[in-house]
Amino acid sequence: MENFDITDHLSFMKAEILETLRLVMDPELHVNIIDLGLVYGVKIDEPEKQINIEMTLSSSYCPMGESILSAVKNCIEGHYAGFTANVELVWEPVWSYHNITEEGKKLLGI
């Protein structure tokens, strides 16, 4: 788990963004993308008003991939008025079940 300095504005905003992304659910698994371990990174470019999300999918064949990526973009732009969300889909490192949080495992029953 990443540590955040809540006295630092951008660090606090990054923590808020990660919490906001819990609203985005994988429509097949019914678990949010944070607890599935799909989000690898968040970078904020405040002067340019951009939030960059680096994430993956559980499979390159994920039939709901485009839907999830659109939901991430809409979620961020809906919560952070004036910011543009850029969602980068990456395949390295490869996602595995080890990425799932304890809460995610409970929700999946594993």
State the CATH number of the domain containing residue 43: 3.30.300.130
Average pLDDT over residues 68-79: 98
**Counted domains in the chain:** 1
Note down the domain range covering 103: 9-108
**DSSP summary character for residue 25:** E
pLDDT on residue 4: 52
Domain assignment present for residue 4? The answer is no
In the chain, the percentage of residues whose pLDDT exceeds 90 is 85
pLDDT on residue 8: 75
Domain assignment present for residue 1? The answer is no
Reported pTM: 0.89
Report the sign of the C-alpha dihedral through residues 53, 54, 56, 60, in that order: positive
Domain assignment present for residue 60? The answer is yes
Average pLDDT over residues 46-69: 95
Confidence of residue 73 (pLDDT cuts 50, 70, 90): very high
Res. 75: pLDDT tops 80: yes
